[in-house]
Amino acid sequence: MPPEELRGDRVLLRPAVEDDAPALAAILAEPAVAPWWPDYDLERVRKDLDGEQVIVVDGAVAGWLFTTEEEDPQFPCVSFDIALGTAFQGHGYGSEALRVAIRHQIERGHERFAIDPAADNERAIRAYEAVGFKRVGILRRYERVADGVFRDGLLMDMLAEELRERGSEG
């Protein structure tokens, strides 16, 4: 279960609630977002709300943050997936949201983090690199997309001491 809320300088992360579903579904349907989040409609958003966080900027739902904590103590890691509405892209909000979530996980004792964008999502990759994530390798035929073919993913990871508090935002 995510914490009640986490605050950054400009973003708020709070638990997703049923009332967020229409705004999140609209974000995931935006032409610049939908290719990275195939097969998400209002029904799927509602199904996936539990335990996830909404990114809020100036009172508006700006995006969605998924956090997955590996429970096996031999392989500790926290993984993230993030979607940000088009109006909020390019302002550093996604990077800030990740930093806020990562700092919280560091406080909880985590030291390793992962994210796996589509290998051709250069904008997201630049944003994750600004936070401190490093390219590990290509996950071949990693994700089935809307047209039924598979695309490659990029595995990126970061250690706690590699977190960049400021960087080239994207």
pLDDT at 3: 65
Q: Is the pLDDT of residue 49 over 90?
A: yes
Residue 24 has pLDDT above 80, yes or no: yes
pLDDT per residue over 77-119, tens digit each?
Answer: 999 999 999 999 999 999 999 999 999 999 999 999 999 999 9
Instruction: Tell me the average pLDDT across 124-145.
Output: 95
Cα–Cα distances (Å) from 34 to 4, 7, 27, 84, 87, in that order, read: 28, 27, 8, 11, 14
- 145: confidence class by pLDDT, cuts 50, 70, 90: confident
pTM of the model: 0.92
Per the CB < 8 A criterion, the answer to whether 124 and 92 are in contact is no
Q: Which two tokens stand for residue 134?
A: 């490093």
Mean residue pLDDT across the chain: 93
Q: Which two tokens stand for residue 68?
A: 């997955």
Tokens found for residue 11: 């973003």
Contact 53, 2 (CB under 8 A): yes
Question: Would you say 91 and 168 are in contact if contact means Cβ atoms under 8 Å apart?
Answer: no
CA-CA-CA-CA torsion for 82, 1, 5, 62, nearest 10 degrees? 30
- What are the counts of helices (DSSP H) followed by strands (DSSP E) for the chain? 4, 8
Q: What is the CA radius of gyration of the chain?
A: 15
Q: Check pLDDT > 80 for residue 140.
A: yes
Q: What is the pLDDT of residue 71?
A: 83
What percent of the chain stands above pLDDT 90? 85
Among residues 126, 134, 121, 139, which one has the least CA distance to residue 167? 126
- Rounded to whole angstroms, how far apart are CA atoms 46 and 142? 25
Q: Minimal CA–CA distance to 165: which of 73, 123, 103, 119?
A: 103
Please determine, for residue 13, whether its predicted confidence score (pLDDT) is greater than 50: yes
Euclidean distance between CA atoms 170 and 155, whole angstroms:
18
Which comes out higher in pLDDT, residue 1 or 168?
A: 1
The stretch 134-148 carries a mean pLDDT of 92
pLDDT at 14 over 70: yes
Q: What is the pLDDT of residues 65-83, one digit of tens each?
A: 999 999 888 999 999 999 9
